[in-house]
Structure 1
Amino acid sequence: MTERAEIHAETVIASDADELSARLRSIRGNVAVESGRGDHLDVRLASSLAGGAVTHQIQTTTGVRFRFDSPFDGYALVLLHEGGLRARIGQQERAWSTGACAVLEATQVRQWQWQAGSYDILLVGANDITQRLSTLLETPVTRPLMFQAEVSPESDGVRLGGAVMQLMQSCFGDDGSRVTAMATAASIRDVAVGAFLEGLPHNYSDRLLGRAPGPSPRHVRSAIEFIHAYARDSIFVEDIAKAAGVSVRALQVGFATFKNTTPMAYLKRIRLEGVRNELLHGDHASIAEVAMRWGFKHLGTFAKVYRDAFGELPSQTRRITRR
């Protein structure tokens, strides 16, 4: 959904695919709509937006298929109260049925095929989630965030996400007029982001659980900023300590207490994540060139530590981008 306003609601009831496509065009851009039952279509789509978070309620007796030219840039939590969903992700297709809860990266979904039924969807922007994750970890996020595709209806994230959807839907009158303030909308978005990051399992969950309570002291934060700024350079623990304005011992104690690691191990991890990000999303430089950019001069050792960190060799990561 395009963010036309910080707070917005709209309900579309359609019995014709072309009519529904035209109604959605102003909200989501070009979208192809097909009925699941020949020429007959019966769909009610109630949408609300608050501070960047979006909810959709879909009710249909015929089923409906959507294909968007410009998918929502974010993540979707889907509650299947009744019916079933088939989502085409690249060349693959995933399916969920009544009672399931799915978590999807919306930009990767090429087609949403909804069976006759009832559904609730909560969408949160990728940038909002990435910024919050970076703040919680006190470090830039370099690896793509990947959620578990199906989660328990009893999980904290699903229960909180469901409550957020109910709250967003109650922020508007029957005519779509808003009954909440702009500041409240931003707070609702923040709770929605928290439901995804701290209530749903993903590849950063362990790091979030393992982080120290409260923010790190200033010298640790300064050291982290220095490491990220100069991760490609030849730097040593003495350089990091000097930049942070403390002794090497104080720096090591700070990292052990608040990051559960050492400054140099933290640097190595950032370098490895930098290599992985370039292999997945960068130019077509060779693996050796990318490794050298990030300070790995001994390629045999590099391949081993890379596999230990990510469970695959650099060549396997590179193949992912060529599929």
Structure 2
Amino acid sequence: MIENDTATALSATLTRTRLVTRTREPATARSAIQHTSTVRGLEVTGSSDFLFEETLTGTSLLTLESTSCTGTVPGEVDASSAIVVTWLKSGTAVVGGQQLPIGRPVLYTPGRQHVQWDRFQKDVMRIDREIVEQVAAARGGWEPGPLEFQPNHVPEGAPLAAWWLMVRAVAAEILGATGEVSLDREQELAGMAAAGLLTAIPHWPVEQPAERTAHAGLADAETYLLEHVAEHVTVDDVAAAARMSTRGLQSAFQRIHGTTPMSYLRNVRLLMARQQLETGEPRSVADVARSVGITHMGRFSGAYREEFGELPAETLRAARR
């Protein structure tokens, strides 16, 4: 019986679905939003050029949603059932009284909040709340339980790059295939998403002692890497800062982030460099590389092209145009 139960657990799957809506009818758009979100008092209005497009892909543990709309969408959203993060790509939006910045992840607070979206493009990630609480406990050294997040926090710099690093990795897999997927792998992906969120947004456990324990090594390791992103850092430095063995550190990063600490740091640096280059403001690629702790220009250019499909100088020229 034990062997059968084990085999069943190992073969457990979830169904990843993709729902696509494209309409010029506000009533159809309203129905689509109500299908994907818990909303009240929702209205969808638009003029003669009204167009609504939405793609929702995922499982009960982790979903990605992309929406564009030429109209106005006010209403009340209830984010109690999952951890919900949104980032505005264009247009304007207010969530819970907060004007959303372009290109920055913003966390919905639990419970109901008023929202209004106007002529917008946005993405949304929903992560199973229990998985987020479990990952937070493993990183922070406390018992799993409800979390409180810093209100209206907008990440910048290295934490923001760490967030986008996670989104790139998770989205590539989620958007790549639908149908039956491994439950274990989906839990791993949701855990990676949770780790990216927890790295980007300050948080703490509700109604638990504030003291940190020796088990908070991974969170300390991430903090050390992001605070010293522009400096020469070795894996031994990170392990010492986190009060972990090098082997334990490598194992924890592989389990939570799917990579090594040094590869994680390298990718954060590349994303930070790209963020700077895309503004068109830096005087040179070399200045950007040095600002994120990269000293070997040849390796930087090669790694950048491998990651983003173009040379850093091409990104800078395009941004200036």
What is the TM-score of this pair, normalised by structure 2? 0.52
Partner of 1:316 in structure 2?
Answer: none
Query: In 1, distance between residues paired with 2:213 and 2:52?
Result: 41
Query: In 1, distance between residues paired with 2:212 and 2:93?
Result: 31
Q: Deviations over 1:24-61 (max 9, x none)?
A: 44444665442353687421111112451121111112
Letter in 1 for 2:171: Q
Alignment equivalent of 2:138, drawn from 130, 135, 154: 135
Please say if 1:73 is aligned against 2:81: yes
| Correspondences of 1:257-268 after superposition (within 5 Å) | none
Which structure 1 residue ranges, 5 or more long, are not aligned?
215-256, 259-323
| 1:35 counterpart SS class | coil
| Cα shift at 1:116 | 1.2
Letter in 2 for 1:184: R
Partner of 2:171 in structure 1?
Answer: 166
| Cα shift at 1:181 | 4.1
Closer/same/farther in 2, CA of residues 110 and 39 from structure 1, 3 Å limit: farther
Verify the 8 A CA contact 2:52 2:69 in the aligned structure 1: yes
Closer/same/farther in 2, CA of residues 53 and 153 from structure 1, 3 Å limit: farther
What percentage of aligned pairs have identical amino acids? 8
| Correspondences of 1:2-17 after superposition (within 5 Å) | 6-17=15-26
Query: In 2, distance between residues paired with 1:78 and 1:71?
Result: 12
Q: RMSD between aligned alpha carbons?
A: 3.5
Partner of 1:84 in structure 2?
Answer: 92
Partner of 1:99 in structure 2?
Answer: 103
Letter in 1 for 2:115: W
What is the number of residues matched between the two proteins?
201
Partner of 1:49 in structure 2?
Answer: 58
Please say if 1:113 is aligned against 2:116: yes
Letter in 1 for 2:191: D
Query: In 2, distance between residues paired with 1:209 and 1:195?
Result: 21
Verify the 8 A CA contact 2:64 2:171 in the aligned structure 1: no
Verify the 8 A CA contact 1:77 1:104 in the aligned structure 2: yes
| Correspondences of 1:211-226 after superposition (within 5 Å) | 211=215, 213=217
| Cα shift at 1:148 | 4.8
Alignment equivalent of 2:155, drawn from 151, 154, 173: 151
Verify the 8 A CA contact 1:12 1:45 in the aligned structure 2: yes
Partner of 2:237 in structure 1?
Answer: none
Q: Deviations over 1:267-304 (max 9, x none)?
A: xxxxxxxxxxxxxxxxxxxxxxxxxxxxxxxxxxxxxx
Closer/same/farther in 2, CA of residues 143 and 162 from structure 1, 3 Å limit: closer
Verify the 8 A CA contact 1:15 1:41 in the aligned structure 2: yes
Query: In 2, distance between residues paired with 1:104 and 1:71?
Result: 7
Verify the 8 A CA contact 1:145 1:203 in the aligned structure 2: yes
| Cα shift at 1:82 | 1.2
| 1:197 counterpart SS class | helix
Verify the 8 A CA contact 1:59 1:117 in the aligned structure 2: yes
Query: In 2, distance between residues paired with 1:207 and 1:133?
Result: 15
| Cα shift at 1:188 | 1.2
Partner of 1:254 in structure 2?
Answer: none
| Cα shift at 1:123 | 1.7
| 2:108 counterpart SS class | strand
Closer/same/farther in 2, CA of residues 196 and 98 from structure 1, 3 Å limit: closer
Closer/same/farther in 2, CA of residues 24 and 101 from structure 1, 3 Å limit: closer
Verify the 8 A CA contact 2:51 2:71 in the aligned structure 1: yes
Closer/same/farther in 2, CA of residues 153 and 139 from structure 1, 3 Å limit: closer
Partner of 2:198 in structure 1?
Answer: 197
